Structure 1
Amino acid sequence: MDPVLSCRWHDQDGEWELSVSRNGGGWELIAAAPRWSESLPFAGPEDVRRLAQALLDLPADPEPYEFAWELSRTEFERTEKERTHFATFAVGLDPADDHRPYLAYQSYYHWGQTTALGLEVVCEDPPVDHLRAQAHALLSDLPGPTSTQP
């Protein structure tokens, strides 16, 4: 899988990443922490298109802004070990922190009567211009309707 939209950074713990890649006929969101990574599928190319547009529309001025996606995958379907892995992925400006841009991922696992917290990856102050360039290129390559702005 080649990343199409990607935000990578390092801190004292190691490398972190949030990226969107084409995976065969679908799209995957990859969240990686220094010692753990996971991926979840987007519902379809329309969700990826909305993500790209949300990055293009990220306001330059401080104002409330957030778009979020719910992603999920059920594993071991229809067995006693059925488990659903789901996550929220958001793009926005943080009103509690001078409206700084962010990408945020939080996952959960649900099996039986139990829900457990999964991986959290937050990219604060992502390279917005670079993400916009990636989003524009993605929208140019995706078949179907787009509403890109130059």
Structure 2
Amino acid sequence: MVRCRFEMDPQFSVAEPEVIVRADSKNIDIQDLIAYIEQYQNQLSSAKILPVKTNDQLIMLKAEAIILADIQQSTLLIYTVDGIFATSETLVHFAKRVDNINFIQISKHAYINLDHLLSLSDSFSGNMTATLSQNMKTDVSRKYVKSLMQHLGIK
């Protein structure tokens, strides 16, 4: 049985709670508790708002609404559940700003949000095709297939 006690520490902001787990041993209950806390933490980070500058406005996008970020020529297209937004931001800079465990690079020119990944199918030359929310499809280059599979927990 795991007993929990919650205390407020006035040194910490309510917006950024710190959780400390203390136990005599790391049994299955403690491991489950730690996994739950990590899952909660990931949900908090996925609620991140990302400002994106287009040609004529600054748009606030929720990271969880972003399906795909793809460079086409010199324009970064950000595909969301609400539409497509074009920006001159680089893919590398976008990836650093999104900083979310659910986003993974799948090619030299694209990142996807794994929360919107519906399926993967074999394509030509060792590549794969990712089917995403909103009936979107994009190529996963063979260079990134292994890391994607590892990220998904598949060997």
Q: TM-score, normalised by structure 1?
A: 0.26
**In proportion to residue count, which structure has more helix?**
2
Q: Which has the higher contact order (CA 8 A, sep 6+)?
A: 1
Q: TM-score, normalised by structure 2?
A: 0.25
Flag the structure with larger Rg.
2
